[in-house]
Amino acid sequence: MAQPKVVLVACGTAVATSTVVAHAIEEAMAERGIPVVIRQCKATEVRSLAEDADIVVATTPVPDDLGKPTFKGLPFLTGIGKSQVLDDIEKALRG
């Protein structure tokens, strides 16, 4: 079995919106056969935690110099563009 990919999901408080995004990514990647480990954090913690992640998904602005593929989490909350961002996440995780 493939080694799980680490997805860092950030929002303002690491509680509400990051949980919605985390569940959506976990479910979608499972359907696509990609094992993931989700780590939730506050946006202020992203820089210190990004090193151990394969990708970052954030519902609030985060630094753009993390050295990791970074995706906006807004489509998971609005539904607009969600399938495209999931495709983009899959592509990044498959590398």
pLDDT at 1: 62
Is 3.40.50.2300 the CATH classification of the domain at 5-94? yes
Locate the DSSP E strands across 12-94: 36-42, 55-58, 70-72
Report the percentage of the chain scoring pLDDT > 70: 99
Mean pLDDT, residues 52-75:
96
Is the pLDDT score of 65 beyond 90? yes
Which of these is catalytic: 6, 9, 11, 85? 11
CB neighbour list of residue 86: distance below 8 Å, 6 or more residues apart: 24, 25, 28
Report the percentage of the chain scoring pLDDT > 90: 92
Residues 18-28 have pLDDT tens digits of 999 999 999 99
What count of other Cβ atoms lies within 10 Å of the Cβ of residue 24?
Answer: 19
11 in catalytic set:
yes
